[in-house]
Chain A
Amino acid sequence: MRHEAALAAKRGAGHARGVTPRPLFPFSAIVGQDEMKLALLIAAVDQTIGGVLVFGDRGTGKSTAVRALAALLPPMRVIAGCPYACAPEKPAGLCDVCRGGGKRHRAALVPVPVVDLPLGATEDRVVGALDIERALAQGVKAFEPGLLARAHRGFLYIDEVNLLEDHIVDLLLDVAASGENVVEREGLSIRHPARFVLVGSGNPEEGELRPQLLDRFGLSVEVATPTDLPTRVEVVRRRDAFERDPAGFAAAWAPEEAKLRRRIVAARRRLDDTTVPDAVIEQAARLCLSLGTDGLRGELTLVRAARAFAAFEGERVVAAPHLRRVAPPALRHRLRRNVLDETVATTRVERAIAEVFGA
Chain B
Amino acid sequence: MTGPAAWADATLAAILLAVDPDRLRGIVLRARPGPVRDRWLAWFRTLFPESVPFRRLPPGVGDERLLGGLDLAATLRAGRPVAERGVLAEADGGVLIVPMAERIPPPLAARLAAVLDRGEVVAERDGLALRHAARIALVLIDESAGEDERCPAALSERLALLADLTSVPLGEAALPDVNADTIARAQQRLRAVTVTDAAVEALCQTALALGIGSLRAPSLALSAARAAAALHGREEIGEEDLIAAGRLVLAPRATVLPAPTEESEAPPDREPEDAAAPDRPPEGDDTEGLDPKALAEVVLTAAAAAVPPDLLSALAGAGPRRALGGGKAGAAKVSKLRGAPLAARPGLPRGGARLALLDTLRAAAPWQRLRQPAEAGGTRPHIAVRREDFRIRRYRERSETTTIFVVDASGSAALARLAEAKGAVELLLADCYVRRDRVALIAFRGRGAELLLPPTGSLVRARRLLAALPGGGGTPLAAGLEAAEALAEAVLRRGGTPVLVLLTDGRANVTLAGTGGREAAEAEALAAARRLAARRLAAVLIDTSTRPQAQAERVARAMGARYLPLPYADAAALSRAVKAVQPGQTPARAA
| Chain A residues at the B interface, C-beta cutoff of 8 Å | 3-4, 7-8, 10-11, 14-15, 17, 19-22, 57-61, 63, 116-126, 129-130, 132-133, 135-137, 139, 141, 144, 146-147, 159-160, 163, 165-167, 186, 203-208, 210-211, 225-227, 229, 232-233, 235-237, 239-240, 243-244, 338-340, 342
Q: Name the contact of B340 in the complex, choosing from A57, A135, A136, A166 (C-beta under 8 A).
A: A166
Tally the A-B contacts, defined by beta carbons under 8 Å.
Answer: 230
Q: By the criterion CB–CB under 8 Å, are B133 and A14 in contact?
A: no
Contact B361 A206 (CB under 8 A): no
Chain B stretch 289-338: residues in CB contact (< 8 A) with chain A: 324-327, 329-330, 338
- Tell me the minimal C-beta distance from A222 to chain B in angstroms: 13
**In contact, B327 and A205 (Cβ under 8 angstroms):** yes
Nearest A residue to B190 via CB reads A244
Assess the A204–B204 pair: CB atoms within 8 A. no
A-B CB contact pairs (8 Å), 14 listed: A7-B83, A17-B133, A21-B119, A21-B120, A60-B215, A121-B123, A125-B127, A146-B124, A163-B107, A205-B326, A207-B458, A208-B458, A232-B218, A240-B223
Taking a contact as CB atoms under 8 Å apart, the answer to whether B125 and A205 are in contact is: no
Given A144-B127, A339-B430, A165 contacting B118 (CB threshold 8 A): no
Chain A residues, CB < 8 A from B41? none
A17: chain B residues within 8 A (beta carbon): 92-93, 133
With A8-B131, A139-B369, A240-B222 given, name 16 new contacts (CB 8 A).
A15-B92, A15-B133, A20-B133, A21-B119, A22-B135, A59-B325, A119-B110, A122-B126, A124-B126, A125-B128, A208-B457, A227-B324, A229-B201, A232-B208, A232-B215, A340-B430
Chain A's closest residue to B130 (CB) is: A7
Chain A neighbourhood of B153, CB < 8 A? 58, 205
Q: Which of B330-368 contact A (CB under 8 A)?
A: 330, 338, 340-341, 358, 361-362, 365-366, 368
Interface residues of B (CB under 8 A from A): 23, 63, 66-67, 79-83, 85, 89, 92-93, 106-107, 110-111, 113-114, 117-120, 122-133, 135, 153-154, 157, 191, 195, 197, 200-201, 203-205, 207-208, 213-219, 222-223, 324-327, 329-330, 338, 340-341, 358, 361-362, 365-366, 368-369, 381, 383, 426, 429-430, 433, 436, 456-461, 463-464, 467
Q: Which of B85, B215, B338, B460 contacts A59 (CB 8 A)?
A: B215
On whether A22 and B208 interact (CB within 8 A), knowing A166-B340, A339-B433, the answer reads no
List 10 A-B pairs, minimum CB-CB distance, nearest first.
A207-B457, A125-B124, A59-B214, A59-B216, A135-B365, A21-B120, A22-B119, A19-B133, A121-B124, A167-B340
Q: Which residue of B lies closest to A233 (CB)?
A: B204
Contact B111 A120 (CB under 8 A): yes
Instruction: Write out the residue numbers on chain A whose beta carbons fall within 8 Å of the beta carbon of B330.
Output: 205
How far does the alpha carbon of A119 sit from the alpha carbon of B459 in the complex, in Å? 24
Contacting residue for B329 out of A8, A63, A159, A205, CB 8 A: A205
Interface centre among B127, B362, B467 (most CB of A within 10 A): B127
**Chain B residues, CB < 8 A from A124:** 126-127, 358
- Among residues of B, the one whose C-beta sits closest to the C-beta of A18 is B133
Q: CB distance A120 to B107 under 8 Å?
A: yes
Contact A139 B23 (CB under 8 A): no
Rounded to whole angstroms, the CA-CA distance of A141 and B366 in the bound complex is 8
Given A57-B214, A126-B124: A22 in contact with B117 (beta carbons within 8 A): yes
Find the A residue at minimum CB distance from B193. A244
Asked whether A19 lies within 8 Å of B92 as measured between CB atoms, the reply is: yes
Given A225-B213, A233-B204, CB of A21 within 8 Å of CB of B118: yes
Min CB distance, B577 to chain A, in Å? 20
Q: Is the CB of B459 within 8 A of A229?
A: no
Closest to B157 in A: A58
B82 A129 Cβ-Cβ under 8 A:
no
B110: nearest chain-A partner, CB-CB: A160
- Whether the pair A119, B114 counts as a contact (CB closer than 8 A) is yes
Contact B219 A240 (CB under 8 A): yes
